[in-house]
Amino acid sequence: MQRVMALSLGELVLKGKNRHTFLQKLIGDIKKNLRGIDHGKIYHNMGKVYVEVVEDNEEKLINRLKHVFGIVYIAPSIKVETNPEEIEEAILHVVKETLEKHPEYKTFKAQTSRGDKTYPLTSMEINNKIGGIVLKNFDVKVDVHNPDFYVYCDLKKDTYIYTEKIKAYGGLPKGTNGRGLLLLSGGIDSPVAGFLMAKRGVSIDCLHFHSYPFTSERAEEKVKTLASDIASFSGKVNFYSVNILPIQKEINKKAPEDEMTIISRRFMMRIANKLAEERGYDSIITGENLGQVASQTIGGLQVTNAVTDKLVFRPLIGMDKVNIIDIATEIGTYETSILPFEDCCTVFLPKHPNLRPTIEGIEESEKDLDIDSLVEDAIAKMEVTVIE
């Protein structure tokens, strides 16, 4: 009997021609995420990937595997040779363990997937055999409609027996949808936006704006912690840190007070756009959410969007705050996000922001600013760190 983690791949299985590339990518990501944790062979067979367990570290393995996008379910399983004696032994072992963990379970159902079409019994017949074995050895009953647990039997060249399917995040392996530059603030939204796009296979690097010395070094540390949370899903992250204070001072001097925020936003977007061009990002990602604040009205978004020709992903655009908070809590960024540190945007916050900016109006307000040299200067002074 060999313990393995059986990994279901969901939509990865559907990827047709690209399937092989996706699978290789996924296996590479699994290897990377399991670095430093003992495990045996990693292999794939008929649409699933398997990781052999070699010591008593299943919980650690499961936690790491949950952070690999492309995996839909993790099933801690027993693998045996496909013959009746070994299969029976595996069933006894797995059901015994399950009932020790869940003494409240009273009913079960057998569910066989017969990948080996040459096996002499049909799925139904195998289910009946499994049912018989469990009924004879344990104090539980069959319930085909609403069982407390399933006894799964994946019958292939080898056979895998399990009762538990642990939900992972699904999605697509890292980098299968290009590189994205995430505008990461210290708030709740942008880490969630990064997570959602990383889940769709976008490889993420982060761009953060601060207003040092108005914002503190500890505020920046907080944002780096958020970046490292994203790195736990998407692998190594480049963290670009730009001081936007010189630009804010210029805007404050030369543009109308009620347009401070929206003009700063346009500078953030211009800097992101230039960085994306210089460093080969396919997309820019923000945590913008329609109507949440003044700069995220239809007019605000339009005016911000007008300074970039890159594809801008705003995965939170139509979500409610409660749903965003749910995801932030689930992925572990919420507690960090709500730490009360200053944010660069609050340094020169207008009392009555313009809620209906237009592109022409804002361009007029920006006419005294030397946009190109402000952008170039900010990027020239940018600091880059790598976050593992």
Q: Give the interface with ligand ATP as residue ranges (CB under 6 A).
A: 183-185, 187-190, 207-209, 268, 286-288, 292-293, 295-296, 343-345
Interacting partner of 255 out of Mg ion, ligand ATP, none (Cβ under 5 to 8 A depending on kind): none
Tokens, residue 62: 């499961």
Q: Is 185 in the site for Mg ion (CB under 5 A)?
A: yes
Nearer to ligand ATP, 172 or 344 (CB): 344
Amino acid at 81: E
- Residue 373 CB, nearest approach to ligand ATP (Å): 21
Binding segment (CB under 5 A) for Mg ion, from list 61-69, 126-134, 182-190, 364-372: 182-190
Nearer to ligand ATP, 69 or 313 (CB): 313
**Of 265, 269, 321, 264, the residue nearest 292 (C-alpha):** 321
**Of 258, 322, 257, 336, the residue nearest 289 (C-alpha):** 322
- Residue 371 CB, nearest approach to Mg ion (Å): 23
- Half-sphere exposure for 43 (CA within 13 Å, toward CB): 8
Tokens, residue 257: 């007070």
> Per-residue b/e over 14-36, b at no fewer than 16 CB within 10 Å?
eeeeeeeebbebbbebbeebbee
- CB atoms under 10 Å from CB of 201, counted, come to 20
- Residue 184 CB, nearest approach to ligand ATP (Å): 5
- Residue 330 CB, nearest approach to ligand ATP (Å): 16
Q: Is 112 in the site for Mg ion (CB under 5 A)?
A: no
Beta bridge partners of 149: 108
Nearer to ligand ATP, 159 or 337 (CB): 337
Nearer to ligand ATP, 34 or 188 (CB): 188
Nearer to Mg ion, 226 or 255 (CB): 226
Interacting partner of 286 out of Mg ion, ligand ATP, none (Cβ under 5 to 8 A depending on kind): ligand ATP
- Residue 345 CB, nearest approach to ligand ATP (Å): 5
- Half-sphere exposure for 374 (CA within 13 Å, toward CB): 20
387: buried, middle or exposed (CB in 10 Å: 19+, 13-18, 0-12)?
middle
Interacting partner of 295 out of Mg ion, ligand ATP, none (Cβ under 5 to 8 A depending on kind): ligand ATP
- Residue 382 CB, nearest approach to ligand ATP (Å): 12
- Residue 339 CB, nearest approach to ligand ATP (Å): 12
Nearer to ligand ATP, 295 or 305 (CB): 295
Before 315, cis peptide (omega within 30)? no
**295 close to 330: Cβ distance less than 8 angstroms:** no
Q: Is 191 in the site for Mg ion (CB under 5 A)?
A: no
- Residue 344 CB, nearest approach to Mg ion (Å): 9
- Alpha carbons 240 and 208: distance in angstroms, whole number: 6
# binding residues, Mg ion (CB under 5 A):
2
Nearer to ligand ATP, 99 or 188 (CB): 188
- Nearest-CB residue for ligand ATP: 187
- Residue 26 CB, nearest approach to ligand ATP (Å): 28
Nearer to ligand ATP, 133 or 183 (CB): 183
Question: Which listed residue (187, 201, 299, 353) binds Mg ion by CB under 5 A?
Answer: 187
Q: What is the DSSP string of 229-290?
A: HHHHHH-SEEEEEEE-HHHHHHHHHHS-GGGHHHHHHHHHHHHHHHHHHHHT-SEEE----T
Binding segment (CB under 5 A) for Mg ion, from list 26-34, 51-59, 66-74, 178-186: 178-186
Interacting partner of 209 out of Mg ion, ligand ATP, none (Cβ under 5 to 8 A depending on kind): ligand ATP
Nearer to ligand ATP, 60 or 310 (CB): 310
Strands (E), the chain: 2-8, 42-45, 48-52, 73-81, 107-114, 141-142, 149-155, 158-162, 166-167, 179-183, 203-210, 237-243, 283-285, 311-313, 383-387
Q: Where do contacts with Mg ion occur on this chain (CB under 5 A)?
A: 185, 187
